[in-house]
Amino acid sequence: MKKSGKFLTGIVAVIALVAAGSARAEVVVPEDFGMQPMYGTVVSDGTLFSNQSVSSVSAHTPPDQTTGKGGGNWVCKNFDDPNCQTQSWMDGTIILSPCSKTTEPVCIDSLSIGRDGEKLSPATLAFEAVSQKIPASPASGVPAGGSASLWKSSGVPNAFGSNDYLVVVAMTYSKNKGTEKATLNGFTANVLPAQVRTGDTYYAAESFTETSSTGMPQAGVGWRGARGMINHSECEMTTDGYCFIREDFSANTKVSINLHLNNSLTGWLFGRLKTPTISVSKISDSINQLTVEALPTVVPNLVGAVLKSDLSKNPKIDNYLKGKGYPGEIENYNRIVGSSGFDGSLGSGMNNLERFRVFEEVLKVYSGNDSRFQKFTRWTFGSTQYDASGAGSACFSDKTKLVGIVTTNSPFYESGPPKFKDDSLNYVVAGPHFDVDGKTLFSGVYDLNMRSEAARCLYGFSSAPLKAVVSVTSADGSTQDVQTEALSEKDGWLHLGAYNFHFSQPTIRIKLSQEKTVAPTPAATPTSTPNAPAATTPAPKANAPAAPAIPNKAKTIIITCVKGKTTKKVVGTNPTCPAGYKKK
């Protein structure tokens, strides 16, 4: 099977780049690609590349589908701005402030950092950054938007050697024309180890509306005028007076965050974490406290691009570009092909299989010198909208509570729950076969945490202990041998992790089962036998207490089962191999 340069079938979500007039847009491609006449995509989990470092609201009306004229994008003061209510829809990002700095019920309560296996220590809030803020929109039901915050750990330095950690928690809203209330679509929470620099040339990004080359009003978030002439590309984020440079987590760092969030944020979470634990508790009728504790994980950034002069040699990419947008829209084919720099799109690897398939042949792990796109450990999670019906069971469709969290280091992944098919939980992930050096196999990490009641609902199980069969099926149909953590169940949550698998179009399959409970056989009633000899064992004394029964502590065991070239891991208190398999 040919593997070099190939990636897995998977899901990728992409956010279109918008370059507006003279404004300095956020840097969304590596510097060594930015000025090349190429068209492509950058697949990155960089938290701030999607303009989610600044609270902002904008309104949109699409151009005429036939003529390509009209329409545009405008900056709004907030979701109640009367000047934006006549547009087709509005959307925006609201950054959460620390609870100590706001009266809003949704906020960042606390951050704790420590070493794996040790008690975590509370971090101290240093400050909330000075940047653009958005007033609350009471009519639309949207809270005020704050800024990123800097926290200092208690003796747990990052890889740079500082105790600084940047926290960005962003909620996204949308509102259609004619509707009173905005819709809360989801949120993301990010903790980034940081190096902090100060200086009077650092400025916060701001919203603006300019006229594009096609004459359309074009909203954006960035820097204009003299500010735009200063290049601080080393900064992951800048605010007034500060530059925050992304650093790495030091080894064995564990992070825990407490958030106060709307209880309408339900269903499933996704993230870039390893061995997470979560808990949810009620604060009020509308607000929950969500606590997530986990190790970070490593996710590579990918770049896939071709020279514009070679588009005809890459028909999938060429046809994709020709089919984009309305006539005259900013991504018009002729305009893009005629421009001298890089054009394309940026986004995380979530929920866009079409984009992945288009660039599959040219996607590679980024290996350049732009430090912002080099491989970093990541600690991020969030919620998103997904089609619950696709999960195949009403057990995952409960909108009244948080059901589970899926985390992986795979560049491409599905944001919703695993699909219940053929009596198994199936989850498709995708990533490079090789790491950045082109030789080392890229190892996958997958963790599934879900409410025990959801798992038992799927299979109709009782409260008795569960066991699991975990397999990772490659593109050729073979099953990989993976490292599997023991299935664990605690405080109403079920956890199972699969690690060290490699990428050849893998699908992770988890099949839960439960041993049947056998009722104990009642003791036989003794009968009187004539002339029976006297018992040699002395009778117990009257009223002597019965010896206490010693409970058997269930021990989780992992066994490896083989059938030809296929290998499966079975986890449980008394695991047995599936039919046709032999214990290895």
What's the burial of 117, exposed, middle or buried (CB within 10 Å: 0-12/13-18/19+)? exposed
pLDDT at 84: 96
Question: What's the pLDDT band for 19 if we cut at 50, 70, 90?
Answer: very low
Mean pLDDT of 526-537: 45
Query: Are 56 and 92 a contacting pair, CB within 8 Å?
Result: yes
Helix (H) or strand (E) holding 356: helix 353-359
Q: Which of 165, 162, 96, 163 is nearest to 134 (CA)?
A: 96
Chain-wide mean pLDDT for the chain? 79
50-93 per-position pLDDT tens digit? 435 789 999 999 988 887 788 999 999 999 999 999 999 999 99
pLDDT at 46: 55
Helix (H) or strand (E) holding 276: strand 274-282
Query: Are 81 and 91 a contacting pair, CB within 8 Å?
Result: no
The answer to whether residue 173 scores a pLDDT higher than 60 is yes
Mean pLDDT of 379-401: 69
Q: Which residue has the higher pLDDT, 415 or 421?
A: 421
The answer to whether residue 533 scores a pLDDT higher than 60 is no
Classify residue 537 by its DSSP letter. S
pTM of the model: 0.76
E runs forming strands in 409-443: 412-413, 419-421, 424-430
Mean pLDDT of 342-356: 77
What distance in Å separates the CA atoms of residue 555 and residue 552, rounded to the nearest whole number? 9
Identify the top-confidence range among 4-18, 493-507, 551-565. 493-507
DSSP SS3 for 460? coil
pLDDT at 47: 44
Residue 452, token pair as written in the block: 């025990």
The answer to whether residue 555 scores a pLDDT higher than 60 is no
DSSP SS3 for 218? strand
Angle CA 283–286–292, to nearest 5: 55
Can you say whether the dihedral through the CA atoms of 519, 520, 521, 522 is positive or negative? negative
493-531 per-position pLDDT tens digit? 888 888 888 875 578 888 888 766 555 555 555 544 444
How would you classify the pairing of strands 467-473 and 72-76? unpaired
How would you classify the pairing of strands 56-61 and 89-95? antiparallel
